[in-house]
Structure 1
């Protein structure tokens, strides 16, 4: 059974869903307007603002609009594929999904294809006396097609502007930074967040009834609140052994279930299916809950900017500055989420997020490895380390100082 959450993720990053929905809507609109036209003609109602049309004139208009929109849709799709190829080769293949998930691109393709579908459906209802002895021209539907065609011209202008804007590195970096901030909200929380706990806890022993993966793939997301509700109903605690971003093989442990006293519990097939449905796996990592991957995207943009074939340190500088906008607030007053709690504050789900110090350290690992020959990048990394020091609580001050010392050692 395809999990609803996994399907939602696929739909979000697909080019087929919105065109399919708009296409069905176009068919429905065309049929409704044709039916309205029949009622208007049967009752002899005259609409002054609508010009009368001959069957040949109506067919010409609909054919022109349908052909033009299908051509424009093909051209738009070609432009999008070209942008995807450029992005993949320049900024990294893992960033292609940003364009796939762009609602504006999906909407433009949906508008153009649905206009073609609408024109074709209306066109089939146009008849002359020669065709079947009864002439019928859906005047309202044809004029609506003309209106939609004018709107499509505006959509085309918007698409050209949008694709030119979205391919700029600053726009791409900003989208990645927004995803990073959302992922950080999942993994790190302030002490006053009553949905989770950040209190230190001892590592879980290898115990509990294990729920194992059915298929291989990456853990893309975990339904935390759904797991909490299940644990409350069963008076249990769920230890998440496979966190978002981790690759699992069939038979490897994903979850472990314990009683409130820490003992193993018996799980029937129904319970196992319910627990597995809370963990979404797929063929690729996504940044929605995978905080390491969300940060890795920004680091990858910086690293590719420093490649010998690109030699663009300003891209790396921009990536570090946007990373600081997401990391510094978390560094200041957030701690790693150690448990998702119920309404009574009882720990019900135990995640294993990375420590923030280790996560921030990956940024400086990239700088030290690839940016040592670029003073601009080293200066931006020092600025990031100084910002971390300025905002650091006492427990993190030493880590921020180590980051700065590590980069300063590379300066000439």
Structure 2
């Protein structure tokens, strides 16, 4: 059920209209309730006269509020577009969702649109039959306008904070750590373990069937629990030939089914157990979350920006996330999902730690080959990862370190640089247990 819930969470995250739609609906309901109160007048005796206004004044106030909120909404949209342009040009196109999907941004839009909906609806139903009566609609409209103004100030503060590169790096780091935490919870379940592809389990079934993908895109979410329930009910073994985050084409093999008795409805059931989308997402894919940190670092060390300190900050956060991820890594490139009787039911692919470490550092090594500060930051990251790594991962880190040194332009290293470089080498030697 958790993976299924993850699919719905992903849909809500990717639906920018959802939160503004909820706020607009609530505003519409409040407007209808206030209109009913004004028409019936049954609360008029309990409301202080100070809060009641004449209909003509109420119409003027609500008209002014509607105009002001529409203007504030336009300014908010313009500000969002400016921030998105900055994110795309200065940081990375993959970081746009970090701001757009921010709940604060969507709530501000929702409150502004909701306030506008309230004002327009109350004006619409404030007919001539109200004349001679006093209404409370304008007072509630003023209260909503004050709330909107407060959120507008907070939105400006949030934009000023979000546009800072240090804030973005922290958000990307938190996103990556959340993906690692989700992966940790997945492996802490008693019926999930790392395996090598077990041919003995496959031989228990007479037949094999391949089910192909009906569209192209990135694998965003896989509902392993749902697949396990389907496999137990149909007495089959389900094999997934690609890891989460892989790009699949229409017609590619999505599932391999090993079975003894065919289920005609299996194709439809399995199709609901994973989601293919246009973009990658970091919910179950730590590599994509790490990729965004790498891209910010690459943009920072590009000749057009030339900001090595930002790149160093990204590398430090990259090392922190990888150190947490390495604690989860074990033997085997496959994940096995077992039923209550310890029978293997689902086999999924995993990207191995060697590939993750290489893809996390090779581009930074390539484009930072002439900057000694980048090399020192990479060594700090290796040290941080090595402190929480097992013997296998330490050996891989040694290979990555040797690769980094080979790629670096040694003509850029001067005598004073060597002093700090040798100090880092000694520290890395102690952590990895290697003779450098």
Equivalent-residue separation in structure 1 for 2:6 and 2:321 (angstroms): 26
Deviation at 1:308, TM superposition (A): 0.7
Any idea what SS the aligned residue of 1:198 has? Answer: strand
Is the 1:340–1:350 Cα contact (8 Å) retained in structure 2? yes
Taking structure 1 as reference, are residues 334 and 6 closer, same or farther at Cα in structure 2, changes over 3 Å only? closer
- In structure 2, relative to structure 1, the CA distance for the partners of 1:101 and 1:44 (3 Å cut) is closer
Asked if the contact 1:188–1:334 (Cα under 8 Å) also holds between the matched residues in 2, the reply is no
Residue 173 of structure 2 corresponds to 177
Distance 2:18 2:227 in 1: 29
1:19 aligned partner: 20
For 2:212 and 2:286, how far apart are their aligned partners in 1?
A: 23
TM-score in terms of structure 2 length: 0.84
Give CA deviations for 1:312-346 in whole Å, capped at 9, x if unaligned: 11121111111112111222353266212333443
Summarize the Cα distance change of 1:136–1:363 in structure 2 as closer, same or farther, 3 Å threshold: farther
Aligned to 1:366: 363
Q: Structure 1 length normalisation: TM-score?
A: 0.89
1:320 to 315, 318, 331: 315
Work out which of the residue numbers 362, 374, 378 in structure 1 matches 2:375: 378
CA contact (8 A) 1:313 1:376 kept: yes
* Aligned with 2:393 (options 380, 393, 396): 396
Cα separation, partners in 2 of 1:403 and 1:137, compared to 1, 3 Å: farther
| 1:143 pairs with one of 121, 125, 139 | 139
Q: Give the Cα–Cα distance (whole angstroms) in 1 for the partners of residues 74 and 217 of structure 2.
A: 34
The answer to whether the 8 A contact 1:212-1:250 is kept is yes
CA distance in 1, matches of 2:76, 2:319: 36
**1:27/1:164 CA distance change after superposition, 3 Å:** same
- Preserved CA contact (<8 Å) 2:219 2:247: yes
Provide Cα deviations, 1:36-80, integer angstroms capped at 9, x if missing partner.
222326x86252253442222111110111110110011001100
Aligned to 1:102: 102
Quickly say closer, same or farther: Cα 1:297–1:48, change in 2 above 3 A: same
Structure 1 distance, partners of 2:374, 2:195, is: 36
* 2:48 alignment partner, SS class: coil
Which deviates the most, 86-95 or 12-21? 12-21
| 1:66 alignment counterpart | 66
Name stretches of at least 5 consecutive residues in structure 1 with no aligned partner.
Answer: none
Q: Kindly indicate whether residue 296 of structure 2 is the aligned counterpart of residue 295 of structure 1.
A: no
Partners of 1:191 and 1:243 in 2: CA distance: 15
Which residue of the partner structure matches residue 92 of structure 1?
A: 92
Contact 2:197/2:334 (8 A) holds in 1? no
Q: 1:68 to 1:155 in 2, by over 3 A?
A: same
**CA contact under 8 A between 1:337 and 1:353: conserved in structure 2?**
yes
What is the CA RMSD across the aligned residues, in angstroms?
A: 2.6
1:285 and 2:285 matched: no
| Structure 2: gaps spanning 5 or more residues | 414-436
Output aligned runs, 1:319-358, within 5 Å. Answer: 319-335=314-330, 338-358=335-355
Residues 333 and 170 from structure 1, CA distance in 2 versus in 1: closer, same or farther, beyond 3 angstroms? same
Q: Distance in 1 between matches of 2:149 and 2:139?
A: 16
Which residue matches 2:430? none
State the aligned residue count. 400
Deviation of 1:242 after TM superposition, in Å, equals 3.3
Is contact 1:217–1:284 with CA below 8 Å preserved after alignment?
A: yes
Kept in 1: contact 2:320–2:381 (CA 8 A): no
1:105 deviation in Å? 0.5
- CA-to-partner distance for each residue in 1:377-401, whole Å, 9 max, x for gaps? 1111001112222322122221122
